Structure 1
């Protein structure tokens, strides 16, 4: 549904009226205030303001944070908030975020300064988490409302919310309930005070009543606008992730630097090869140095032509494309062992245009140091002088080039500058190999590799390896050595239970591990009942966090029980149930992800060093940035840059990147009607204020298990 965006800054006429200037002053251009595109975040150290700050960080939207717990913090006064530039009044912040509707002591001059500033410049205020009370336009919860846990509650975007800042959602806003023993969400559900100019955007049923109470709403009073949020959250919780975009859009009027989109890409490693199978009796994988199983070739896992057909059909059903990281030697070896036959390769090559393809090296060789597997764990072999023995430059280049040549002969639609090495080898791996193989960068240069897949659980940051730039990939806890749900569950139990329960004891050795089990999972139900929901939630959390990094699984997970599909479908189907059609999940390939991450890193550096400034005067936005820097912004649909349409449509607005040339960029917004004047305050009935409950629920963090082998 197309939504109407209410701008955070009024039109020229309305601004003049709000400033109390005579109509004739409109002839002087300097009468229209300048509003800088920067947000003021006033924090008390709580999770809600921190969550909004994290959202601004992720989007690349500049903000200034004031920590109320610091004694040496700046004082918020008229001079801190506004001044005059070139004879024009300037508002230094386009929006204000407070921990609640008034976090200052009674009769605070700082709150008075903020209120006057918001009235003068039509700057909106977000109350990140506030108690429902008449000062925020709501009745106390004791008067027909509710205060307490909302774990598992299914909230909804109201009609006004869908027509306004939350129009990118389909309607449902489910609150997490991940652990019955932990209070994850706390809220105040209430209705507006009689006569208050209050519009609810997100509400939920009031327990024990047939009515609904507001969780997020807009309160207009005293010439000011507040977004009143009455539930507490942290930056990882799904309910916040769903609403974060709308909170930012509301407070900026859909005009801000930075952009946020939802991404999901999935790499499937080891295609054409076979993966060794977890041994449920020995609790290890044949072929690993710590496994005593003498038969390293017993019953490997490899896709079949039917699995390829299923992958093609699944992609078509979900409008999604998988990235296949392939090892050509897997097919060559299979043909040698089967009189030249490889039905899997034949089917994959016949359907090659249904997938994207990534070079995963020819034999999946380890490309770091030469491994000494005579000890457990393995160590790097050394030369006579004690120096590390490295896999040579020629060996690495041959692995890359041979696989590329095989793929070309097979007609695979390759991007020749993309590479994922086997097990992300060649790059440092702790503790055995604390540095990159120095020959890796040379071989990447020899083979013209620009984008190199890395393991996000080891190195979440993007970096250079010779001429290549890494693209960190999220490992999924769907194991490479499991083709069947029972095998996956058995290995999961081994890793995440205590030694007394027959497990590895990793959780005893590392209590910070977040996927630990209180007891082993049922082999028959553990995968669908526990692992799938958890992995789906983790991956969907990445999708909802403006995170373009790909996830990776293995070809074994598309074979036999096809255990990857419940997770992948859970992410995509769950997403489709939550978002409107104008907010699709994006499915970029490796090089596109690398470019996006690189632009973000450069943009963030420029913001932190103060090299970027932007402001709005009326319907014109001006951005100044260093030449060559890609500038990102989110604007209403119909906005233009030098007369040309800006950006691409997403979530009801437009956003995109545009290069700076060293001169100011001028963006023109579509004309919009002035926001309606706020209604006069309605007197509230005298009531006795109950003490607010200020508890903060535990919430969740972002659990990531051990790295899956690449």
Structure 2
């Protein structure tokens, strides 16, 4: 439908948008006194990158009797000012500027409407556009290449959409909101596209059969009619999204259970009969009003959501994959897979234990017992059996051989061996040699920030030797240093004389350039290719490619694999310890007070598992790391670590049917290594991909040297969910047969 004329807003006024603040785009945001406990909290508290977690530094000196760490806890949530709780669009006052033409620009004479590049265009209303990060995030999570056009500064023309050879530049269009709304002057809301630009966009979508996704909208007749009308007075920010029968078809990965919507302004709508418009509800609120729908008109396919999106919110995370697959018709560069990777650090050594009564550490440290270790094995097996989405789950055990006794006999029933058992944990570990993925955590867990080369080498090599003596199934290309040390996050005054003692706190992020070159050399010389880093430290992950590993600048043969912390501290073994420690940080009066009350254990698990499930939905392969203290069997068949994994997977399985893969660390590193090469090649325009929909083939043309890529939709590829994908490497032009879903 052609946009409705309205008051003219000159392009020069549009260019003022970068100077406007977010408060001019949104209505004033009220800050609730508390946040719902099932609100997703896996977002970016710094607003610098959509998936960042800067962990709160609550480090302290601790007793040397136990194994001590700096505390790394996942932040409980994003700042409330960044949540779209009151993200109103002012639909009643929106105008669309009058364009210079009465209709769309004429299509060029050489149009090849059967061909489109495998790339998506995001149309944005400027740098303060609150939907832009959501659009970027969901595309990045599937590896889909995209361009962003700021409609307030750059005109949208046929040249923006159609290449010189007549091929469409984009296979899909995302509108960050349905009208590209911005506040061009006080109390004056305008569309960032004028009437002729809207007409040009619609003509392109019609001619090239390109779908349009509006991530948020308050449906009216301007700039086009979706066959929906707002139901006045029914707006809400907290409720449920119920999946219709049509929604299950569009979102092929969903179970059909209601989705939680929290802190996201939502316009409830109802159908309106409009000539030439066919609208199909996908999601409804609890009263049956529509909050998402597909709508077809004049040969165009559109999908609109009427709730605000944010990459930190659970409903956005759940819907993102299905939205991308709908937009691209299941054919796109890149792939989306999900992983359940859980690491347990410090196996074999003593750990400090938090004392809820004093807020300090107990005098006696904790070390896993044989029954604790066997319980971890049994619990991971139970998780694998309990959920259809889980595929061969096992813990990755980061072990410190200092505490092991390789000569202790291998048995899972140490009580039968009497005095032959020199160390029961070593015996059952040998018995369970193939039940976990065993990963080198260095022999002694010393900090390696300024360690010399011989000591660094010995720390790594001797631990591999101990693992071999124990008969463990080792990931031999992988390494986790104590406290992720040696990577530039450190006490800047450390002189290396006290690698196992106290340090000046808090540590500082000095960047990878301050990594210990002796560690890097020792790791590479020892056959290590994949080195764990901390996802909560800014320099230790790639904000420009959140799903990419980081080749170390001192030696690109060493790839950093980021890991997430969670809120179960390294020094807690029971629900009481975990809860009290958490409340000491985030409850009223805590060091980083965030909530309006102190949590019980169920609330802590609910909040932190929601953050954890967000990491599953984002499609990155990053592990979450915990510690051997968290595996204490505080009750029969119960440990903090397994409680957390169960809570995360139960929440995930409630909404999604996509399998969760668990890879051994060496395989994980290889996967991330290839994925990183693919994403970097894509960013460097190392090849083009053109979809010929007449023959349903995609032509890949490399620009130079052979490049790796993955194509989703490839006929006969590896099935994941409802779609097929396959990794390929080519050195010449190739046509690949695909199919839509």
Interval containing the TM-score (normalised by the shorter chain): 0.7 to 0.9
Deviation at 1:279, TM superposition (A): 3.7
Alignment of 1:118 with 2:205, yes or no, is: yes
Task: Determine whether 1:613 maps to 2:697.
Answer: no
Q: Is the aligned partner of 1:407 residue 2:497? A: no
Deviation string 1:226-260 (CA, Å, 9 cap, x unpaired) is 11221111122111111111111111111111211
Give the equivalent residue in structure 1 for 2:255: 170
Aligned match of 1:476 = 566
1:560 and 1:193, CA in 2 relative to 1: closer, same or farther beyond 3 A?
same
Q: Compared with structure 1, are the counterparts of its residues 445 and 598 closer, same or farther at alpha carbon in structure 2 (3 Å cutoff)?
A: closer
The Cα shift of 1:548 comes to 0.8
Change (3 A) 1:223 1:253: same
In the superposition, the TM-score normalised over structure 2's length comes to 0.71
Matched with 1:198 is: 278
1:262 Cα deviation after fit: 1.5
Tell me the residue number matched to 1:278.
354
Which runs of structure 2 are paired with 1:616-627 in the superposition (5 Å)?
616-617=691-692, 618=694, 619-625=696-702, 626-627=704-705
Report the equivalent of 1:325. 398
Is 1:418–1:590's contact at 8 Å kept on the other side of the alignment?
yes
Corresponding residue for 2:195?
108
Aligned-partner Cα distance in 2 for 1:608–1:107: 31
Give the 3 Å change call, closer, same or farther, for CA 489–100 of structure 1 in structure 2.
closer
Which residue of the partner structure matches residue 237 of structure 1?
Answer: 313
Deviation at 1:39, TM superposition (A): 1.2
> How many angstroms does 1:84 deviate by?
5.0
Displacement after TM superposition at 1:150 (Å)? 4.2
The 8 Å contact of residues 497 and 518 in structure 1, kept in 2 or not, is answered as yes
- CA shift in 2, pair 1:551/1:166, >3 Å: same
Once residues 532 and 671 of structure 1 are traced to their aligned partners in structure 2, the CA distance between those partners, rounded to angstroms, is 40
Q: Mapping of 1:141-220 within 5 angstroms?
A: 141-142=230-231, 147-153=234-240, 155-163=241-249, 165-177=250-262, 183-193=263-273, 197-200=277-280, 202-207=282-287, 212-220=288-296
Which of 660, 677, 687 is residue 585 of structure 1 equivalent to?
Answer: 660
Give the match for residue 334 of structure 2: 258
1:509-552 C-alpha deviation (Å, 9 max, x unpaired): xxxxxx7344544xxxx2222x2112101111111111111110
Select which of 601, 606, 619 maps to 1:546: 619
CA contact (8 A) 2:406 2:470 kept: no
Aligned-partner Cα distance in 1 for 2:649–2:468: 32
Secondary structure of the corresponding residue to residue 301 of structure 1: coil
Q: Equivalent residue of 1:654, what SS? A: strand
Tell me by how many angstroms 1:564 deviates.
Answer: 1.9
- What is the aligned partner in structure 2 of residue 708 from structure 1? none
* SS class of match (2:235): strand
Residue of structure 1 in register with 2:530 after alignment: 451
Describe the SS at the equivalent of 2:660.
Answer: coil
Q: Does the Cα contact within 8 Å between 1:102 and 1:111 map onto a contact in 2?
A: no
Of residues 110-119 and 442-451 in structure 1, the stretch that sits farther from structure 2 once superposed is 442-451
* CA root-mean-square deviation: 2.9
Q: What secondary structure does 1:171 align onto?
A: coil
State how 1:471-510 maps to structure 2 within 5 Å: 471-496=561-586, 501=589, 503=590, 505=591, 507=592
Q: 1:410 to 1:199 in 2, by over 3 A?
A: farther
Using the TM superposition, give the Cα deviation of residue 668 of structure 1 relative to its aligned residue in structure 2, in angstroms: 0.6
Cα 1:620–1:423 change in 2 (3 A) is same
The counterpart of 1:349, out of the listed 418, 421, 430, is 430
Q: Distance in 2 between matches of 1:339 and 1:437?
A: 42
Q: Is the 8 A contact 1:630 1:660 kept in 2?
A: yes
Partner of 2:381: 316
Equivalent residue of 1:352, what SS?
coil
- Whether contact under 8 Å (1:303, 1:560) holds in the other structure is no
Offset of residue 83 of structure 1: 4.6
Equivalences, count: 566
Alignment gaps of 5+ in structure 1: 1-28, 178-182, 287-297, 370-390, 508-514, 673-710
- Hey, what's the Cα distance between the residues in 1 that align with 2:176 and 2:659? 32
Alpha-carbon contact 1:77-1:109 (below 8 Å) kept: no
The whole-number CA distance in structure 2 between the counterparts of 1:450 and 1:415 is 11
Q: Distance in 2 between matches of 1:137 and 1:494?
A: 50
- Contact 2:476–2:666 (Cα < 8 Å) also in 1: no
Query: Would the aligned equivalents of 1:48 and 1:235 in 2 still touch at CA under 8 Å?
Result: no
Displacement of 1:666? 1.9
User: For the pair shown, which has the larger CA radius of gyration, 1 or 2?
Assistant: 1
Shift of 1:105: 7.4
Distance in 1, matches of 2:739 and 2:192, equals: 41
Equivalents in 2 of 1:105, 1:267: separation in Å? Answer: 47
Q: 1:450–1:469: 8 Å Cα contact kept in structure 2?
A: yes
Q: Which residue of 2 aligns with 1:6?
A: none
Checking the alignment, whether the CA contact within 8 Å between 1:158 and 1:200 is kept in structure 2 is: no
